[in-house]
Amino acid sequence: MAYRAPVVRKRYQKRESIPGFPVIPEFSHMRRARFEDGRQRIFRRAYNYDIPPGNGSVSDSGLIFVSFQADVDTQFTPLQKRLDELDLLNEWTVPIGSAVFAIPPGCAEGGYIGDTLLN
C-alpha cells in the first residue's frame, strides 16, 4: 500500500474539496485541533472510561484527556482558543476539571530528579 493509504483501498486517493465544502469542515474538532506551526505541536492522549451502573443508577462514562507540552501558553492555549471559537464537538462534551502540572526533566545516572533545575 502507498503511504497514508486507507486500509480498505489498494492505493491512496486524494479527495478533493468541493468549493465551499472542504473534505474536513472548518468546524470539525480535527481541523480546529491542528497545530498551525511546529512550535505548537503537543503530545496528546485520550483515555476512555465506562463504569457499569449499579442498581437504579446511570453509567459513569467519559474521557480523560492528557497532553504534554513544554509551554502551556504558546502550545496548548492557542489550540484551546481555536477549539473554543468553532468546534462543534463542544455541543456534546462537558469538561468537569482541568489542571496543569510541572514535570521536571529526567536525570543522568547518579543524578536526581530536578538536578538540572536546581544546579
H or E segment to which residue 43 belongs: strand 43-51
Enter the C-alpha cell of residue 88.
462543534
pLDDT at 118: 83
Q: Report pTM.
A: 0.65
Quick check: helix, strand or coil at residue 75?
Answer: helix
CB 65 within 8 A of CB 109: no
pLDDT at 114: 85
pLDDT at 57: 82
Tens of pLDDT, residue by residue over 27-38, are 888 888 888 788
| pLDDT lower than 70: segments of the chain | 1-17, 21
- Domain extent listing, the chain: 29-118
* Cα 119 to Cα 106: distance, rounded to the nearest angstrom: 14
The number of C-alpha atoms within 13 Å of 93 and in the hemisphere containing its C-beta is: 14
pLDDT at 43: 93
pLDDT at 50: 93
CB 64 within 8 A of CB 47: yes
Tens of pLDDT, residue by residue over 51-66, are 888 888 888 889 999 9
